[in-house]
């Protein structure tokens, strides 16, 4: 961001929601570059092109800003999962759509997924609560769908939902680190096939 852009931003009064979004975007950049502990509110204000008093009007402290940013990322993930579930009434298509939601989340913004799945502030109760919600809200949405469509009782449906979320999350994070030789589409298809058919049904033993 150029100095001229910062000066121009300082002279513009934005609606509260737009200003908040601007501050969160600046915070994401600073947290991603420096980590939470090394990030400074001075730098976040500078990157956002606002004065520190303006920043503190929206967020009383650095932890409040971090949690607000984390919550926004969790909301995004849960929305992606819910959108995937609502995208079709065919469960065969719902599985890859849901798996794909996790792959898209980790690949679209590495800083976002690291805050949600690899936060180094899990000792903070509010941070742990937000991180837990990323999994629990996704599991709840999938459980509701499985219960309604497959006729399973809630306990069985929830166990399947936990398995799908865990498989999707871990596979997506692994793929992000080692995906040079595999496209997103291929990785999603492999993971979804495993989830849908299982190793025995999806990958039978070859004839020797």
CA distance 78 to 93: 18
pLDDT value at residue 206: 59
Phi/psi of residue 204, each to 5°?
-65, 160
Summarize the confidence of residues 90-101 as an average pLDDT: 92
Taking the mean position of all CA atoms in its chain, how far away is CA 96? 17
Determine the pLDDT at residue 197.
Answer: 83
Say if residue 201's pLDDT is above 90. Answer: no
pLDDT, position 181: 85
Q: How far apart are CA 38 and CA 100, in angstroms?
A: 33
Find the mean pLDDT for residues 6-34.
Answer: 80
pLDDT at 52: 94
Q: Outline which parts of the chain fall under CATH 1.10.10.60.
A: 14-60
For the chain, residues classed under CATH 1.10.357.10 are 67-197
pLDDT reported for residue 63:
95
184 and 103 Cβ atoms separated by less than 8 Å: yes
Give the residue carrying structure tokens 């607000």: 68
- Give tens-digit pLDDT for 167-179: 999 999 999 988 7
Rounded to a whole number of angstroms, the CA Rg of the chain reads 20
Which pLDDT does position 5 carry in this prediction? 44
Condensed to tens digits (0 to 9), the pLDDT of residues 116-171 reads: 988 888 889 999 999 999 999 999 999 999 888 777 889 998 999 999 999 999 99
CATH number of the domain located at residue range(s) 67-197 in this protein: 1.10.357.10
14-60: CATH class: mainly alpha
pLDDT at 203 over 60: no
Backbone angles phi, psi at 160, to 5 degrees: -65, -40
Average pLDDT of the chain to the nearest whole number = 87
Whole-number Å distance between alpha carbons of 83 and 24? 24
């Amino acid at each position: 961001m150029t100095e001229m852009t910062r000066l121009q931003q300082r002279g513009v009064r934005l609606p509260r929601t737009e200003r908040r979004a601007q501050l969160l975007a600046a915070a994401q950049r600073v947290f991603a570059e420096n980590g939470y502990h090394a990030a400074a509110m001075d730098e976040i204000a500078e990157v956002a092109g606002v004065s520190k008093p303006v920043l503190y009007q929206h967020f009383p402290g650095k932890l409040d800003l971090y949690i607000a940013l984390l919550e926004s990322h969790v909301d995004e993930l849960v929305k992606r999962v819910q959108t995937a579930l609502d995208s079709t009434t065919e469960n065969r298509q719902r599985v890859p759509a849901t798996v794909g939601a996790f792959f898209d989340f980790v690949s679209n913004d590495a800083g976002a997924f690291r805050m949600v799945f690899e936060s180094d502030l899990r000792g903070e109760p509010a941070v742990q609560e937000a991180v837990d919600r990323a999994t629990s809200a996704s599991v709840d949405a999938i459980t509701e769908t499985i219960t309604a469509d497959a006729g399973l009782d809630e306990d069985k449906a929830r166990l399947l939902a936990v398995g799908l979320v865990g498989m999707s999350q871990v596979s997506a994070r692994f793929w992000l680190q080692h995906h040079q030789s595999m496209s997103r589409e291929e990785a999603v298809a492999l993971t979804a096939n495993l989830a849908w058919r299982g190793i025995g049904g999806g990958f039978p033993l070859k004839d020797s």
